Structure 1
Amino acid sequence: MVFQHECQGPGLVYTEDSDFKVRLFDLVSALARSLDMVSQTLAGHHTNVGFFASRIADFYGLSSFEKRNVVLAAMLHDIGAVSLYPAVDSLLFEDDTIKHSIAGSVIISSSKKLHDVSKLVEYHHTPWEELRERKKHYEISNIINLADFIDVNTRRDRPARHQIPVLIELCRKHSGTLFNPDYVEALRESEAKRNYYHRLHSARAEKTLTLSTQFDSDILDAEGVLDFTGLFAKVIDFRSRFTATHSQGVAVTSSVLGRWLGFNEVEQVFFQIAGRLHDIGKLAVPAALLEKNGRLTKEEFAIIQGHATYTEHILSGIPGLEVIRDWACQHHERIDGTGYPSGLAGRDISLGSRILQVADVFTAITEDRPYRRGMDFEQTTKVLRQLGDSEKLDPIVVEVLIERYDEINELRSKGQNQALEHFSNYSKVLYSKYGIVTKDVS
């Protein structure tokens, strides 16, 4: 049977897959924003590098397809550093160029739309003279190397227009070895556009809008968005051994609950997307705090609570994802109004958000973590019913989960084991092919 709920409502904005469309660029831009939140050092870095790379590509005359790949790769180029170095307090990982480039390539290659992009990330720190001789097909990755060099060496406390000409001259000294001379010349020509450098350290929204207008052809349906959000889940979960695979557990649990509460197949995919995205704001929380093995102070707990607000900030930049955004951002709200970040209560919380809330708590207490085993059926039902009876969680959603406990828990466990297997395969590839050692999340 399908359960009915007083908050069921008339359905969602999108009832058919054909009604749901999201631009790939907007998803990449959101992921770039989340990567930049890991540390103040990275603030704006991925967007800046994408901005530089776009200008160099324009002045050099890349084809639209090549430019698309270069810019998307530039906006994600250090994604591997976040998984290899959870506490990114500086750009010192730039000294370990090969490892984080390869790690990033392996992560990005898991997305069907980004295979060519992943190869550019892999070679974005390879000197041009080596690319020219051995990897000619990926020579355009040198544009990312050049754009990255400029942004890393630009001081944020000084006007960019005074620094860029000096940095370009430094690049010219490495022309023919580290950098492609033609790319350096294209960068030099673009330097004449002073308004461009005035905008370099302007609001992120302005730079993103400038890039955004160039990428309207990559449109994803619900399944395409689900595939891409696997990257978000990997970045979130692999950063902390305490939450490894958690996002996938929430995704599976909420999707099954949605099915039993009357949501259609497309909407069930939305739950999977929301589950994968709900903790993206944790990238803004220090890794040491996420992995603290002990009681949190009041101040530390407040910092962790901030992740819900960061999640909203990141996802608000994705047109078409509004319903999913609300579900994901409200997973810590509570029916009695005691939740966060907005203190929503009662009917102000949609059924979709209520499902995410129950799925998040259920996954958190049933999954194994390095410091404790997950709860069994009796323990789990006791906790969930207490939360339902006290109007923290929706009691109807809680009862639907308990009635279908065996099915939901089995699928939750299977989904998380698959996510763990993906990480293990990622680790094995990095170690067997490149000798790169990742942290243990098992």
Structure 2
Amino acid sequence: MEIITSKNLGKLLVNTLKLIDKRPMEHGVRVAYILLKMLQCKGGYVEYELAEYIILAVLHDIGAYKTEVIDNFVTYETKEVMAHSIYGSLFMRYLTPMKEKAKIILYHHIDYEKKKSIEYEYMNISDYLSFAERLDLHYNLIGPRFDYRVLDRYENKKYSSESISLFRQAQIKYDILGQLESGKYVDEIDQILNYILFNDEEKKQYLEMMMYTIGFRSDYAVTDTVTTICICREIAAILKISEEDSEKLYYATLLHDVGMLAVSPKILDAPRALTQEEIMKMRAHVSITENLLKRFLDPEVVKIATAHHERLDGSGYYKGLTDADMDMLQKILQIADMVTGMINKRSYRKEKKKEYIIDVLEKEANSGKLSKIIVKIFIRNYDEIMSKVKNESNKILQIHTKLNTQYSLLYQNFY
């Protein structure tokens, strides 16, 4: 089954990150358009190559979501810019199929005169990206009055003469600045995305990358998602769920909390129990998740993902579904999500013990809120399940740890 098309995957990535702050992604789309026209003007690229560079350009500032405060977008682009370049390149290297091209992001804030001696296959693309980014920042700040020829003074210093020349040709041929002003550039980006060709494994990598973006808001959220995935996998295996249904459950669990990106970190990491107002804001993540995913993802996966806080007696949220409205996969995720919320520590409390978790699950099942069958199976296999969950989650989280460790080392080398 196809969980998501290649084009929709690209759109889902962008719209997911917009939940945190739309400015870096809007900037990324404009930069991607400028780069696209420069590459088309140069020639020699087939459409799927262009589409891949466009995805990279749109996401070139992804590291800023982790390393910067984006209250003032221009400020974050002009001060200590290497932090987000380093994190962004590592994020793309470890979590996407674009491992070789990830350094394009690493070098995009280094002046041409400093990087021209570095041996790297895609250094010219990094230089074009540098120019496209700076052009957009100036144009977005000044508007139609901006004269791009002011960047000529940086020829062979900040930017190569080739980058400047390519843009001039592309501006004459395509009226890039006019398209940016009119907003028509968005349609061209949408068209080029039709040529993205991700195989199933690449789609899986990008969707898994989205799980790690939740860590831009809160590190514990990544741990929670990984734990929930592993619990669901073990329960599904015991219940002998089909391969197709297991796949649906996996992707639903992977993305079930993506709406948390729209919730303030002050709420997510509050060192205390939440107020009623904060609880309502937190609960909104489910409807936010649904409104995002339903535009791009398989409806069955969305249905599973957005029912994780529902309860069989209708007391859950946000739709108040009942037992008759829900299937086995939704019920598995509900239990796994609840267990995760207890087994993992929070900023205001320690993790709960086995006896406490079992007691809560039995009470919820006996009161008609959770599936008695699934709860009974989980409790019967508790030790085995949680042992496997611990081992598997540690393996997955090693990637996250490695990324952050590499970031610290590279950052120290640059400063």
- 1:408 is matched with 385
- Give the whole-Å Cα distance in 2 for the aligned partners of 1:289 and 1:299: 10
Report Cα offsets for 1:357-405 as digits up to 9, x if no partner: 1111111111234543322221111111222233333332222221221
- 1:315 is matched with 293
1:363 aligns with 2:363: no
- Give the whole-Å Cα distance in 1 for the aligned partners of 2:241 and 2:378: 15
Write 1 or 2 for the structure with the bigger share of helix.
2
Q: Find the partner of 1:56 among 38, 46, 55.
A: 38
- Give the whole-Å Cα distance in 1 for the aligned partners of 2:147 and 2:248: 46
- Give the whole-Å Cα distance in 2 for the aligned partners of 1:340 and 1:150: 46
Shift of 1:408: 1.8
Q: Find the partner of 1:200 among 149, 158, 183.
A: 183
1:44 aligns with 2:14: no
Report Cα offsets for 1:255-276 as digits up to 9, x if no partner: 2222223322343243332222
Q: Report percent identity of matched pairs.
A: 23
- 1:99 is matched with 83
- Counterpart of 1:295 in structure 2: which amino acid? A
Alignment of 1:430-441 (within 5 A): 430-435=407-412
Partner secondary structure for residue 124 of structure 1 = coil
What is the total number of aligned residue pairs between the two structures? 407
- 2:313 is matched with 336
- Give the whole-Å Cα distance in 1 for the aligned partners of 2:50 and 2:112: 18
Is the contact made by 2:18 and 2:25 (CA closer than 8 Å) also made in structure 1? yes
Greater Cα offset, 129-138 or 282-291: 129-138
Shift of 1:248: 0.8
- 1:237 is matched with 215
What TM-score results when the alignment is normalised by the length of structure 2? 0.86
Is the contact made by 2:61 and 2:85 (CA closer than 8 Å) also made in structure 1? yes
Report Cα offsets for 1:113-160 as digits up to 9, x if no partner: 22133222222222334343324522212333333334444559xxxx
Report Cα offsets for 1:208-249 as digits up to 9, x if no partner: 63332232xx2332x443332221122213531443411111
Q: Find the partner of 2:253 among 272, 275, 287.
A: 275
- Counterpart of 1:68 in structure 2: which amino acid? A
1:429 aligns with 2:406: yes
- Root-mean-square deviation (CA, aligned residues, Å) is 2.9
Shift of 1:198: 5.1
1:212 aligns with 2:193: yes
- 2:124 is matched with 139
- Give the whole-Å Cα distance in 2 for the aligned partners of 1:378 and 1:415: 23
Q: Find the partner of 1:79 among 46, 62, 82.
A: 62
Partner secondary structure for residue 114 of structure 1 = coil
Residue 155 and residue 35 in structure 1: after superposition, are their counterparts in 2 closer, same or farther (change >3 A)?
Answer: same
Partner secondary structure for residue 99 of structure 2 = helix
- Give the whole-Å Cα distance in 1 for the aligned partners of 2:195 and 2:144: 24
Is the contact made by 1:81 and 1:100 (CA closer than 8 Å) also made in structure 2? yes
- Counterpart of 1:214 in structure 2: which amino acid? Y
Alignment of 1:179-190 (within 5 A): 179=159, 180-189=163-172
Residue 20 and residue 433 in structure 1: after superposition, are their counterparts in 2 closer, same or farther (change >3 A)?
Answer: same
Unaligned 5+ runs, structure 1: 1-18, 157-161, 438-442
What TM-score results when the alignment is normalised by the length of structure 1? 0.82
Is the contact made by 2:138 and 2:146 (CA closer than 8 Å) also made in structure 1? no
Partner secondary structure for residue 356 of structure 2 = helix
Is the contact made by 1:337 and 1:345 (CA closer than 8 Å) also made in structure 2? yes
- 1:15 is matched with none
- 1:11 is matched with none
